[in-house]
Amino acid sequence: MDRQPKRNSRVNVRRAEVMGIVQEKVRRHYQSALVESVRSSGNRLELGHTTFVLAPEFGFCTGVQRAIDIAYAARNVFPENRIFLIGDIIHNPEVNRQLAAMGVIRLPWKTMTDEYDELCEKDVVIVPAFGVPVPFMDFLTNKGVSIVDTTCGDVVKVWRRVKDFAAMGVTSIIHGKATHEETLATASRALGEDGRGKYIIIFTEEDTRALADYMMGHGCRDEFMKRFEGAMSPGFDPDRDLVKVGLANQTTMLKSETQSIQTMIRNAVVKRDGNDERYSVFDTICGATQDRQNSLFQLLDEKPDIMFVVGGYNSSNTTHLVDIAKESVPTFFIEAAACIRSLTEVECFDTRLHRIVESSFPEVMGNPDVPVKVGITAGASCPGNLVEETIFRVGMLRGDSFDSILTAAGMLPGQYQ
**Smaller CB distance to ligand SF4: residue 64 or 242?**
64
Nearest distance, CB of residue 209 and ligand SF4, angstroms: 27
286: Cβ contacts below 8 Å, ≥ 6 apart: 61, 63, 152, 154, 251, 252
Per-residue binding letters, 353-392, with ligand SF4 (x by CB under 6 A): ---------------------------x------------
Asked if residues 310 and 348 have their Cβ atoms less than 8 Å apart, the reply is no
Residue 170 DSSP label: P
Nearest distance, CB of residue 47 and ligand SF4, angstroms: 31
Residue 154 CB-density burial (10 A; 0-12 exposed, 13-18 middle, 19+ buried): buried
- CA gap 198, 192 in Å, rounded: 8
Instruction: Identify any residues that bridge with 355 across adjacent strands, giving them in sequence order.
Output: 350
**Smaller CB distance to ligand SF4: residue 293 or 331?**
293
Nearest distance, CB of residue 321 and ligand SF4, angstroms: 12
DSSP letters spanning 89-154: SSS-HHHHHHHHHTTEEEEPSSS--HHHHT--TT-EEEE-TT---HHHHHHHHHHTPEEEE---HH
* Sole window of 74-82, 99-107, 234-242, 283-291 interacting with ligand SF4 (rule: CB under 6 A): 283-291
Chain centroid offset of residue 334 CA? 15
Q: Is 252 in the site for ligand SF4 (CB under 6 A)?
A: yes
Long-range contact set of residues 333-341: C-beta below 8 Å, sequence gap at least 24 = 333/309, 334/308, 334/309, 334/310, 334/390, 335/93, 335/310, 335/311, 335/386, 336/94, 336/310, 336/386, 336/389, 337/386, 337/389, 337/390, 337/392, 337/393, 338/393, 340/390, 340/393, 340/394, 340/397
Nearest distance, CB of residue 20 and ligand SF4, angstroms: 23
Pairing verdict, β 279-281 and 306-310? unpaired
Residue nearest to ligand SF4 (CB): 63
Nearest distance, CB of residue 64 and ligand SF4, angstroms: 5
Asked if residues 295 and 58 have their Cβ atoms less than 8 Å apart, the reply is yes
**Which residues within the stretch 115-154 sit at the binding site for ligand SF4 (CB under 6 A)?**
129, 152, 154
For the chain, how many residues are written? Answer: 417
* Sole window of 23-31, 256-264, 284-292, 335-343 interacting with ligand SF4 (rule: CB under 6 A): 284-292
Nearest distance, CB of residue 118 and ligand SF4, angstroms: 29
**Smaller CB distance to ligand SF4: residue 172 or 316?**
316
Q: Which of 57, 182, 335, 388 is catalytic?
A: 182
Residue 206 DSSP label: H
Per-residue binding letters, 309-328, with ligand SF4 (x by CB under 6 A): --------x-----------
Select the residue interacting with ligand SF4 from 251, 258, 284, 319 (CB under 6 A): 251
Select the residue interacting with ligand SF4 from 43, 289, 314, 351 (CB under 6 A): 289
Residue 248 DSSP label: E
Asked if residues 50 and 343 have their Cβ atoms less than 8 Å apart, the reply is no
Annotation says 80 is catalytic: no
Asked if residues 165 and 190 have their Cβ atoms less than 8 Å apart, the reply is yes
**Which residues within the stretch 18-77 sit at the binding site for ligand SF4 (CB under 6 A)?**
61, 63-64
**Smaller CB distance to ligand SF4: residue 57 or 400?**
57
Select the residue interacting with ligand SF4 from 34, 288, 306, 325 (CB under 6 A): 288
Nearest distance, CB of residue 152 and ligand SF4, angstroms: 3
Nearest distance, CB of residue 384 and ligand SF4, angstroms: 15
The dihedrals phi and psi of 32, each to the nearest 5 degrees, come to -135, 120
**Smaller CB distance to ligand SF4: residue 318 or 390?**
318
Applying CB under 6 A, the site for ligand SF4 has a residue count of 14
Q: How many CB atoms lie within 10 A of CB 84?
A: 20
**Smaller CB distance to ligand SF4: residue 176 or 197?**
176
Residue 281, SS3? strand
**Smaller CB distance to ligand SF4: residue 251 or 390?**
251
Asked if residues 56 and 295 have their Cβ atoms less than 8 Å apart, the reply is yes
Select the residue interacting with ligand SF4 from 155, 232, 248, 265 (CB under 6 A): 155
**Smaller CB distance to ligand SF4: residue 63 or 312?**
63
- Interface positions with ligand SF4 (CB under 6 A): 61, 63-64, 129, 152, 154-155, 251-252, 286, 288-289, 317, 380
**Residues with catalytic annotation?**
182
